[in-house]
Amino acid sequence: MVSVLDDGWLGEVLAQVAGASTLDALHEAAVELTGKRSALSAARQALGALPPDERRVRGQQLNDLRAQVEAALAERRSVLQAAQRRLRLAADRLDLSEVLAARAPRGAGGHRCVPGDGRWGRGRVHLVQRTRDELEDVFVGMGFTVADGPEVETDWYNFEALNMPPAHPARGMFDTFYLDVEPPDGVLLRTHTSPVQIRVLQRRRPPVYAVMPGRCFRRETPDARHLPVFHQVEGLVVDEGITFGDLAGTIESFTAAYFGADIDARLRPAFFPFTEPSAEFEVTCTICRGSGCRTCSHTGWVELGGCGMVDPAVLVAVGIDPERYGGFAFGFGIDRCTQMRHGIADMRVLLDNDVRILRQG
Ligand code: PHE
């Protein structure tokens, strides 16, 4: 065997390290080359028998050798670990190509390219998802950022922080699905996207201009305008000097951009505990063009959502000074927008999985 201080030793050792093909093999090599029973350790022990001068020179040589061997081991270890990570990622990889195909760019006329035209393959975006994408585009164009939050919420985010303490009568507006976990009635499926307002305000300081789309849940019997699982997009602006005029202007710009100029929108006074003053906003029913039909319960108008000036109590709940900052919020149904934009008389068809509907995505 070559001794540690022979010329060939280091080369041999480095080749051994480079040849270790698994992390286990490398670990064994490390024990053999640098452990207590290694030639390096034996050589260090033997130093004691040498005269001082020689001991110093040899000692230095041994230190250098050990440093080189350890550096080679570390380098090889990181190469093998990276390879192992790559393998693990490859094994975990999901094939999302169908989704990608569905999210492919639109063809002429704003429609997604259809299967069979040879360009995008299978998969479609559901009409509701398409509406959500388009609404996001409209708001991003107006300078808003997009945020989201969890569908399973705590009572505090869904109600309390929004100025609805336990037993507040306004909770009755939201027929809530509670989860069977501790504490009782403490965890629920969010009934609106408004809890995301709170989450955003906990993360960011004003100025905030954000929209928060997502899925919501209410114990509701499905009918022409309601589904127990539906989608909302929440909007929140918190800044200095915000007025109700900014809110009304934002809603008007969004309805004009999304529905086109021939749809009328109106605000009506309403009550929400987290905004004051509050309003509901409605658009002309596109099914009857305002003359009254089953879809709009013969009113000629369909409610899209609620809005108002953020109540100071909400700002206080997240530690923002209501003397300095104010804002507005709105929340409206994405499914309702889909329904009105595409003239769908009964919202339940959105969930029927009828291919004639699905193909339109
Ligand atoms: N969260 C309310 C609802 O679902 C709508 C709303 C949002 C009202 C924001 C005012 C401000 O009914």
Q: What is the mean pLDDT of the chain?
A: 90
Ranges 3-12, 102-111, 172-181, most confident: 172-181
248 found inside a domain? yes
> Which residue ranges have their beta carbon within 6 Å of ligand 1?
192, 194, 272, 275, 278, 305-308, 329-331
Q: Please say if the pLDDT value at position 337 is more than 70.
A: yes
Q: Are residues 257 and 302 in the same domain?
A: yes
Final residue in a domain of this structure, among 76, 92, 108: 92
Q: Dump pLDDT digits (tens) for 193-220.
A: 999 999 999 999 999 999 999 999 999 9
Q: Are residues 149 and 27 in the same domain?
A: no
Q: How far apart are CA 127 and CA 335, in angstroms?
A: 9
Q: Please say if the pLDDT value at position 321 is more than 50.
A: yes
Ligand 1 atom, smallest distance to 216 CA: 4
The CATH number of whichever domain residue 336 belongs to comes to: 3.30.930.10
Ligand 1 atom, smallest distance to 197 CA: 9
97 found inside a domain? no
Q: How far apart are CA 330 and CA 209, in angstroms?
A: 12
Q: How far apart are CA 283 and CA 290, in angstroms?
A: 9
pLDDT band at 182 (very low <50, low <70, confident <90, very high): confident
| pLDDT of 227 | 95
| Number of domains the chain contains | 2
To the nearest whole percent, how much of the chain has pLDDT over 70?
Answer: 91
| pLDDT of 98 | 55
Whose CA is closest to 320, among 244, 236, 246, 243? 236
Name the token pair of 154: 């705590």
| pLDDT of 353 | 85
pLDDT band at 100 (very low <50, low <70, confident <90, very high): low
35 found inside a domain? yes
Alpha carbon of 243 to ligand 1 centroid (Å): 18
Q: Are residues 135 and 19 in the same domain?
A: no
Alpha carbon of 294 to ligand 1 centroid (Å): 25
Ranges 167-176, 226-235, 337-346, most confident: 226-235
Alpha carbon of 15 to ligand 1 centroid (Å): 68
Q: How far apart are CA 212 and CA 273, in angstroms?
A: 19
Whose CA is closest to 330, among 294, 292, 298, 304? 304
Alpha carbon of 301 to ligand 1 centroid (Å): 18
Alpha carbon of 330 to ligand 1 centroid (Å): 6
Alpha carbon of 230 to ligand 1 centroid (Å): 14
pLDDT band at 99 (very low <50, low <70, confident <90, very high): low
Q: How far apart are CA 50 and CA 55, in angstroms?
A: 6
**Alpha helices for the chain (secondary structure H):** 7-19, 23-34, 39-46, 52-92, 97-102, 127-141, 155-158, 194-203, 244-259, 312-317, 334-342, 355-358
Residue 16, domain extent: 9-92
Nearest CA to ligand 1 atom 10: 307
| pLDDT of 124 | 80
Residues 227-236: what's their mean pLDDT? 97
332 found inside a domain? yes
pLDDT band at 92 (very low <50, low <70, confident <90, very high): confident
Ligand 1 atom, smallest distance to 173 CA: 12
Q: Which residues pair with 290 in a beta bridge?
A: none
- Name the CA dihedral angle for 345, 336, 355, 361, rounded to a multiple of 10 degrees: 130
Residues 6+ apart with CB under 8 A from 171: 159, 164
Q: Are residues 142 and 45 in the same domain?
A: no
Nearest CA to ligand 1 atom 7: 331
Q: Dump pLDDT digits (tens) for 246-289.
A: 999 999 999 998 998 878 899 999 999 999 999 999 999 999 99
Final residue in a domain of this structure, among 75, 92, 109: 92
